[in-house]
Amino acid sequence: MKVLIVEDDLNLQQQLCHGLTNEGYQCQSANDGLEGYYQASEYSYDLAIIDIGLPKINGIELISRLRKDGSQMPILILTARGGWKAKVEGLESGADDYMEKPFHIEELVARSRALLRRITGHTTQLILGPITLDTESQKVTLSEQPIELTAFEYKILEYMMRRPKEVISKTRLTEYLYDQDFDRDSNVVEVLVARLRKKFSIQEGFNPIITLRGRGYQFNAAS
């Protein structure tokens, strides 16, 4: 899972990144509201953790802009502001959860996991057509037959199975797999998709990953 942290306190920002990275998350950071808006608009994230007291534009305005743009990304507010009025303001702007500073990193990680489960429908098993993917064991079967995948093949498959029939661009997949400074002209995504298709081809006539020329890929287990 990729997390965007929008926090102007650099020490706290590093603490959050360190704690979440230790739990297996990929983290990117922004130091102010405008940078956070750019990052969230240009790149794909599974969760955002946003401070309210940000320079340039505050967290409430940032969240409101993202929601007006149609972003459905889960958002957790992290702020020093207390009281029920501040909480209501944050939630009404479009946030999904709210934590006050100071906090324990263990609670933040637990809330992040719970939020991802609730918002994205995280389950132990993803079952689409003849494909079953177990997110805990990271095992994949096709018509109950095990399919051996590399780490990157598995990540692409899980990402696409969580977004069935959604058009996903090659750039979006590349950003999900790698840091944002990765060469986006690389053909690595095409190679990984081709390898997945080859492994699915053991079931004759089955091709769940559709290429939409000029647009990207679409996962449809009924294909």
Claim to verify: residue 157 and residue 111 sit in the same structural domain: no
Q: Which of 86, 120, 154 is the last residue of a domain?
A: 120
One-character DSSP codes across 103-130: --HHHHHHHHHHHHHHHH---SEEEETT
Q: Which of 120, 146, 176 is the last residue of a domain?
A: 120
Claim to verify: residue 112 and residue 144 sit in the same structural domain: no
Residue from 146, 143, 148 nearest 127 by CA? 143
Claim to verify: residue 44 and residue 141 sit in the same structural domain: no
pLDDT digits (tens, 9 = 90+) for 172-210: 888 777 754 445 556 888 999 999 999 998 888 888 999
Claim to verify: residue 10 and residue 92 sit in the same structural domain: yes
Please state which of the ranges 21-35, 68-82, 127-141 shows the lowest mean pLDDT.
Answer: 68-82
CATH number of the domain bearing residue 139: 1.10.10.10
Please state which of the ranges 65-69, 84-88, 101-105 shows the lowest mean pLDDT.
Answer: 84-88
Q: What is the pLDDT of residue 171?
A: 84
Verdict on whether the full-model pTM lies above 0.85: no
Claim to verify: residue 112 and residue 166 sit in the same structural domain: no
* 165 confidence band (pLDDT: 50, 70, 90): confident
The partner residues of 11 in beta bridges, in order of sequence, read none
pLDDT digits (tens, 9 = 90+) for 42-57: 888 888 999 998 999 9
Claim to verify: residue 106 and residue 154 sit in the same structural domain: no
SS (H, E, C) 182-205: CCCCCCHHHHHHHHHHHHHCCCCC
202 vs 87: CA distance, rounded Å: 53
Residue from 165, 130, 150 nearest 196 by CA? 150
Q: Which of 120, 140, 164 is the last residue of a domain?
A: 120
87 vs 99: CA distance, rounded Å: 9
Roughly what angle, to the nearest 10 degrees, separates helices 188-200 and 151-161?
A: 80
**Where in the sequence is the domain holding 81, given as residue range(s)?**
2-120
* 65 confidence band (pLDDT: 50, 70, 90): very high
The rounded mean pLDDT for the chain is: 84
Claim to verify: residue 8 and residue 96 sit in the same structural domain: yes
